[in-house]
Structure 1
Amino acid sequence: MKFHKEGYTSLALVVLFIFIINAVAHYYDAGPVVKWIIYIVSAILFITIVQFFRSPIKTIALDEKVILCPADGKVVVIEEAEETEYFKERRLQVSIFMSPINVHVNRNPMTGIVSFFKYHPGKFLVAWHPKSSTDNERTTIVVKNSVGVEVLFRQIAGAMARRIVWYVKEGQEVQQGDEFGFIKFGSRVDLFLPLDTKINVNIGDKVTGGKTIIGQFS
């Protein structure tokens, strides 16, 4: 387990805040009850930031025939849907909701070349809102594998997620399981797969990024 680089600024701000409120409490000689409340709040803030930006060290089992889960969370959508931005045709959509207590590292579901990338500024509707995938701040990434199969995955900001981070660009070669981005404080990741993909998960399943197999190519 390590601390993710995207959390350095947040951790520094929290440590500074903790230092200031504790210094003020001691300077004005606050009573023992007030001091203990401040100690408890300080500990909760510190632990919350550390657990949110934790980044497990994982050994990825590469397999070109499968789609690895891109994020930790819970499967909330499995359905056939019209993908209107890139494919402009019907695809199998699998959506994963990431709560604030999940690891928020995003990982490539397969190895290939990034054939399309676009960032969309937008709203911050709750991640499970039906229009969050089209109205919220989001990125769209398409990767083509060695046999020409393309998979689209989309980072979607939620009501609390106010910053999407990505590490890929068009034309870049990416490897299955490597980090492609990070979303802060609750969010969602959508996958759009070929219609003949065999889906290995069910709605409500808890999944792990880089470990759970979402589906298999036919």
Structure 2
Amino acid sequence: MEGSDRRMDMISTVVKPIHREGWKFIPAFGIVALLLFFLWEPLGWLGLGLTVWCYYFFRDPDRVTPTRPGLFVSPADGVVSLIERAAPPPELGLGAEERTRVSVFMNVFNCHVNRAPIAGTVTKIAYRPGKFLNASLDKASEDNERNGLALRLEDGREIAVVQIAGLVARRILCEVAEGTPLATGQRFGMIRFGSRVDVYLPEGVAPLVAVGQGTIAGETVIADLASAELARQGEVR
């Protein structure tokens, strides 16, 4: 029985659920790889490698989300690329006052399913076309294509969550509508292929992550409404 459990654990580490968006691409990658094998075997192996990458790009594993009210979790897998003061996108109508913005950058090897950072109701969704600069850059928040969500928390405060297209991203997918209630860590969309998600925290709430820190969507705590801790610092060790 233990051996069977270990085999299942090994399989689950390799075989992951796939986001439905992936089934538009994975079969096409596989067919191209097969054709490349007929043309020239080394090209076929390259195509097979790209097919495996495509499969893992669209993986959508379950996550264990902390359930205590007031916790903010990371909206994306990746790395905290920026923590700074900035006003939410004007199209969301949340005012021009600056808030603490936590930016999580996803490279092409990260899982790209986006999750709600905290429980709340979607009060507004606003899409804005733009450029496709490197999403890790500060000016990507202003210049790049983006899709913003305003969330009203249970205490009435509102936050912003913004999906930002990156250098090779060409589609932002939002799978919820205005009026949708979201639980902390609930899936709400994804971005193809390489991108960033910004979270604008309520005034007075300090981030509990540092720039350069890795994050797991739906699991890594990035802030806490109940915490009096100052903005957390970190260093490479």
Q: Which residue of 1 aligns with 2:79?
A: 74
Note closer, same or farther for the CA distance 1:84–1:45 as it changes in structure 2 (3 Å cut): closer
**Alignment check: 8 A CA contact 1:71 1:210 kept:** yes
- Report the secondary structure of 1:95's partner residue: strand
Q: Which residue of 1 aligns with 2:10?
A: none
Displacement of 1:137 after TM fit? 1.1
- Report the secondary structure of 1:18's partner residue: helix
Which runs of structure 2 are paired with 1:4-83 in the superposition (5 Å)?
4-23=19-38, 25=39, 34-35=40-41, 37-83=42-88
Q: 1-side partners of 2:221 and 2:138: how far apart?
A: 25
Which runs of structure 2 are paired with 1:159-178 in the superposition (5 Å)?
159-178=167-186
Displacement of 1:126 after TM fit? 1.1
Which one of 143, 147, 150 corresponds to residue 155 of structure 2? 147
Amino acid in the other structure paired with 1:216: D
Note closer, same or farther for the CA distance 1:84–1:6 as it changes in structure 2 (3 Å cut): closer
Amino acid in the other structure paired with 1:109: P
Percent identity over the alignment is 35
Q: 2-side partners of 1:110 and 1:172: how far apart?
A: 13
- Answer with 151-160 or 51-60: which moved more: 51-60
**Alignment check: 8 A CA contact 2:36 2:44 kept:** no
Q: Which residue of 1 aligns with 2:108?
A: 100
Runs of 4 or more off by more than 3 Å in structure 1? none
Q: Which residue of 2 aligns with 1:116?
A: 124
2:218 is the counterpart of 1:203? no
Amino acid in the other structure paired with 1:3: I
**Alignment check: 8 A CA contact 1:80 1:195 kept:** no
Amino acid in the other structure paired with 2:219: K
Q: Which residue of 1 aligns with 2:233?
A: none
Q: 1-side partners of 2:216 and 2:201: how far apart?
A: 18
**Alignment check: 8 A CA contact 1:92 1:195 kept:** yes
TM-score, normalisation: structure 1 = 0.90
Displacement of 1:131 after TM fit? 2.3
Displacement of 1:84 after TM fit? 4.8
**Alignment check: 8 A CA contact 1:68 1:210 kept:** yes
Q: Which residue of 1 aligns with 2:8?
A: none
Amino acid in the other structure paired with 1:92: T
Q: 2-side partners of 1:38 and 1:128: how far apart?
A: 32
**Alignment check: 8 A CA contact 2:73 2:117 kept:** yes
Amino acid in the other structure paired with 2:101: Q
Q: Which residue of 2 aligns with 1:181?
A: 189
Displacement of 1:195 after TM fit? 2.4
Q: Which residue of 1 aligns with 2:224?
A: 216
Q: Which residue of 1 aligns with 2:3?
A: none
Q: 1-side partners of 2:44 and 2:125: how far apart?
A: 45
Superposition RMSD in Å: 1.4
Q: 2-side partners of 1:131 and 1:78: how far apart?
A: 13
Displacement of 1:45 after TM fit? 1.3
- Answer with 168-177 or 53-62: which moved more: 53-62
Gaps of 5+ in 1: 26-33
Displacement of 1:17 after TM fit? 1.0
Q: Which has the higher contact order (CA 8 A, sep 6+)?
A: 1
- Answer with 10-19 or 80-89: which moved more: 80-89
